[in-house]
Structure 1
Amino acid sequence: MAKIRRDQVTGMNFHYKHYSFEYFLDAMVRYGFKNIELWGASPHFYVDDMSIQDIRQVKKEIDRRDLSVVCFTPEQCVYPINLAAKEDRIREKSIQYFIKSAQAAKELDAPMLLVTPGWGYENENCNEAWKRTRDSLERLTTVAANLDLILALEPLTRVESNLIYNAKTLKAMLDEVNSPYLKGMIDSIPMALANEDFHDYFSLLKEDLVHIHFIDGKPEGHLVWGDGVLPLQKYIEQLNEIGYKGSLTLEYTSYQYVQNPDAAIERTLNVFSDFFRN
Structure 2
Amino acid sequence: MSIMNKEQISILTAPFLHHTFAYGLDSIEANGFRSIELWGASPHFCLDDDTPEGHTARIREINQMLKDRGLKMTVFHPEQCRQYPINIASPIPYVRNYSINMMKQYLEDTAAFETDKMMLHPGWEYVDSPSEDNFLRLVESVQILSEKAEELGIVMVMEEMSAAVSLFARDLSHLEKLIKSVNSPWVKAGLDLIQAENNAETISDFCSRLGLPAHVHFADRKEGYAALGKGDFAFAGRLEELEQLGYKDTISLSLWGADFYKDPDEALRACADWFRFRS
TM-score by length of 2: 0.91
1:94-109 equivalence runs, <5 A: 94-109=99-114
Cα distance per residue 1:39-58 (max 9 Å; x no partner): 00111111222421221122
Indicate if the aligned counterparts of 1:4 and 1:244 stay in contact, CA closer than 8 A: no
Aligned to 1:153: 158
| 1:21 shift after superposition | 0.8
Per-residue deviation, residues 62-84 of structure 1 (Å, max 9, x unmatched): 12222111111111121221121
**Structure 1 residues 273 and 197, CA, compared in 2 at 3 Å: closer, same or farther?**
farther
In the alignment, the residues of structure 2 paired with residue 45 and residue 125 of structure 1 have an alpha-carbon distance, to the nearest angstrom, of 33
Contact 2:192 2:218 in 1 (8 A): yes
Equivalence for 1:213: 217
Superposition deviation, residue 2 in structure 1: 5.1
Mapped to 2, the partners of 1:150 and 1:12 lie a distance apart of: 18
Within 5 Å, which residues of 2 pair with 1:31-46?
A: 31-46=31-46
What do residues 165-202 of structure 1 show as CA deviations (whole Å, max 9, x unaligned)? 22232222222211111111022232122111222212
Partner of 2:95: 90
- Mapped partners of 1:254, 1:3: distance in 2: 25
Structure 1 residue 36 displacement after superposition = 0.5
Letter in 2 for 1:142: E
The AA in structure 2 aligned to 1:126 is S
Q: What is the identity, as a one-letter code, of the residue corresponding to 2:254?
A: E
Separation in structure 1 between the aligned mates of residue 267 and residue 277 of structure 2, nearest angstrom: 17
1:225 counterpart (225, 228, 236) = 228
Range 179-188 or range 157-166, more displaced = 157-166
Aligned equivalent of 2:16:
16
Matched residue, 2:260: 257
For 1:256, give the aligned amino acid: D
- Alpha-carbon distance in structure 1 between the residues aligned to 2:198 and 2:190: 16
5+ residue gaps, structure 2, are: none
Q: Determine the C-alpha separation between the residues in 1 that align with 2:264 and 2:91.
A: 38
Which of 194, 212, 226 lines up with 1:189 in the alignment? 194
**Cα distance change on mapping 1:242 and 1:228 into 2, 3 Å:** same
Distance in 2 (CA, whole Å) between partners of 1:26 and 1:75 is 22
SS at match of 2:118: strand
Is the 2:161–2:170 contact (alpha carbons within 8 Å) kept by the matching residues of 1?
yes
**1:49-68 equivalences in 2 (<5 Å):** 49-50=49-50, 51-68=55-72
Counterpart selection for 2:77 from 73, 76, 87: 73
Deviation, structure 1 residue 261: 1.5
Query: How many residues were matched structurally?
Result: 274
What RMSD over aligned residues (CA atoms) do the two structures have, in Å? 1.9
Does 1:270 find its partner at 2:273?
yes
Q: Which residue of 2 aligns with 1:114?
A: 119
| Residue number among 147, 165, 172 corresponding to 2:170 in the alignment | 165
User: Equivalent of 1:136, from 127, 137, 141?
Assistant: 141
- CA distance in 2 between counterparts of 1:261 and 1:3 reads 23
Report the alpha carbon displacement of residue 211 of structure 1 after superposing the two structures with TM: 0.6
Given residue 190 of structure 1, which amino acid in structure 2 is its aligned partner? Q
Query: What fraction of aligned residue pairs are identical, expressed as a percent?
Result: 29
Q: Deviations over 1:212-242 (max 9, x none)?
A: 1112233x52221233332224313322322
Q: How many Å separate the matches in 2 of 1:73 and 1:125?
A: 27
